[in-house]
Amino acid sequence: MTNPLVVTSEPEVKQRLSYAELIPAMREALIDLSAGRVQQPVRTVIPVSKHNGWMGVMPAVYRGVCGAKLVTFYPGNGARGIPTHMAMILLFRAETGEPIAVLDGRLITEMRTAAVSAVATEALSRQDSCVLAVLGSGVQCRSHIEALRMVRSLDEIRVWSPDAARCRACAEEVGAVAALSADAAVRDADIVVTVTSAAEPVLQGKWLKPGAYVNAVGAVGPRRRELDAEAMDATVIVESRDAALIESGDILIAGASIDAELGEVLAGKFTPTPGRRVVFKSLGVAVEDLAAALLVTPGAMRPSAISN
């Protein structure tokens, strides 16, 4: 007899998942990915053109589970007052194929994305970085500020988005300054985060100070980008080369080269040139979702009745 299927709602995820646990879990998962200890194809994306959205299927095999995240992205949802990204995560026991857990994946996606950026920021930005600029004022703005505060002492935080009222509200909520322009937000910032729904560049390289560090998070797809070519003239780090060469318009349109995967940096196999701008292009990969899901449902991996 198989164990009962564990179903976890978003409120339960919120109770059980913390950045204190999630950041180290993301670090370990990315090292394992780059070391070849994860089976993970590039996600399959199905356009829902009629409604200006898409659905992605993200499978992987990792640490005793095989699973997949089903994720949707509808950029117009922000105007409707609902999340642009929504998801479900399914886990199966790798040994037997038994289904063991179903989790709401929206908050997991939000938090693991910010946690990965925190891992990258800790590894790739200067230790004395203290000024943060965030372009975008949605949920990822809030989650990134919370996660980055875990790895850097931030003296000043600036937020910008095209919607001035939303930008002011977000800035007030997170204890930041609402910038009047993207340029004003980015000037002299040590760390820059782009978390917008833009399809065209919102960050220009000429605004960045020498040696600035950038987490480029928002644009997914070969024709979408947040950074111009000058901003991408940098040391470029990714989660997965295979994914970035298919899914990153920031890289493909600029003709940028990929210097390393983040897991290679974390394992000490690559060190960026000191003083050179670094861009971490984050796309999100399935192993991050599985690793986060295992933190939320550790009991799901108790021994199988079949294996007893």
What per-residue confidence (pLDDT) applies to 307? 39
Q: What is d(CA 214, CA 119) in angstroms, rounded to the nearest whole number?
A: 13
SS3 sequence, 194-232? ECCCCCCCCECHHHCCCCCEEEECCCCECCCCCECCCCC
What per-residue confidence (pLDDT) applies to 101? 94
- Which among 35, 99, 100, 94 is positioned nearest to 62, based on CA atoms? 94
DSSP 190: S
What per-residue confidence (pLDDT) applies to 78? 77
What per-residue confidence (pLDDT) applies to 306? 38
What per-residue confidence (pLDDT) applies to 308? 33
- Domains in the chain with CATH codes: 6-108+287-301 (3.30.1780.10), 126-285 (3.40.50.720)
Strands laid side by side in the 278-281 sheet: 177-178, 156-160, 131-135, 191-194, 213-216, 278-281, 235-238, 260-261
What per-residue confidence (pLDDT) applies to 302? 52
What per-residue confidence (pLDDT) applies to 160? 96
What per-residue confidence (pLDDT) applies to 1? 45
Q: What is the pLDDT of residues 200-242, one digit of tens each?
A: 999 999 999 999 999 999 888 899 999 999 999 999 999 999 9
Q: What is d(CA 287, CA 293) in angstroms, rounded to the nearest whole number?
A: 10
Low-confidence ranges of the chain (pLDDT < 70): 1-2, 299-308
The identity of residue 272, as a single letter, is P
